[in-house]
Amino acid sequence: MKKTTLILGCGDIGMVLGRELIEAGHRVIGARRKAAALEGSGIEPMALDLGDEAALAKLPNADFVVYVLSADRFDEAAYRTAYPDGLKAVLRTYEGRDKPPQRILFVSSTSVYGQKEGERVDEQSPAESAGFSGVLMREAEQALHDSPLAGSVVRFSGIYGPGRDRLIHQVLEGRIAPKSPPMYSNRIHRDDCAGVLGHLIALSEVGRPVDDLYLASDCDPAPLYEVMAWMAGLLKVESTEVIQAPLRKRASKRCDNSRLLATGYAFRYPSYRDGYAQVMKLGGFLPEPV
């Protein structure tokens, strides 16, 4: 029988995932506030506000549920609504069903880590961020771990891709991160975000073991200076301004994706060079050859 996947917060990543799951034979339902954006995608649109208890009661039964919401804005209230409160409401809904999902995937973030000295982090590392975003993500993660439903948390690092090109624009403005001390950065292409989620669903479908936590970041954590200098070379831009982030906002860690790689996932864009080259080419950022 055809499997049904429900994508809650079916935006950029969800639409890529949905199309790939449809190709794999799934029925895909995409829930978001403005469901009209899904029309013509092959994904069945469903208008949903997670703050509406009556709407939650109408959530369809599904074999897989992917919770990939984005907060409306970067503040504590919006994060609490989108992550711990929203996920807990969905979990309560499905915990009361006679036929619960085979697996729930919650998209979290590497912002849960508080390391700032270039430490290597993995799924066993302490996740003790002092920022509200990391604290609230951890609360949501714990809610899934505590639920009787089968679930996996997937911590994405800095997501980039078509339309997610802020770093490219900074480089075009002549800005660059300081060379010393090195500030290690981590990233994952949007298409790999969808690829990882689809991969874990495929493993579950065939009864392969799936862990309750994965760190999903590409294979090349690198100093931000190195990334921006490489971009500047391709874009033929001279860097004239050093970005000085406030000390309290600086993050420097190196994400280890060994657990994910051990499942057999192969990154489509294993390094920033692979992924950003694609983004710059598609976005028309690269100068025309003479």
Q: Which CATH number belongs to the domain containing residue 142 in this structure?
A: 3.40.50.720
Measure the CA–CA gap between 116 and 120, rounded to whole angstroms.
10
**Does residue 156 form part of some domain?**
yes
**Does residue 95 form part of some domain?**
yes
**Does residue 240 form part of some domain?**
no
Low-confidence ranges of the chain (pLDDT < 50): 247-248, 290
Q: Domain range holding 215?
A: 4-160+187-219+256-269
Give me the pLDDT at residue 288, please.
Answer: 74
Structural domain count, the chain:
1
Give me the pLDDT at residue 202, please.
Answer: 98
Measure the CA–CA gap between 80 and 221, rounded to whole angstroms.
29
**Does residue 180 form part of some domain?**
no
Give me the pLDDT at residue 247, please.
Answer: 45
Give me the pLDDT at residue 248, please.
Answer: 47
**Does residue 192 form part of some domain?**
yes
Measure the CA–CA gap between 48 and 37, rounded to whole angstroms.
13
**Does residue 242 form part of some domain?**
no
pTM: 0.96
**Does residue 239 form part of some domain?**
no
**Does residue 91 form part of some domain?**
yes
Helix, coil or strand: residue 90: helix
Strand partners, 152: 105
Per the CB < 8 A criterion, the answer to whether 198 and 21 are in contact is: yes
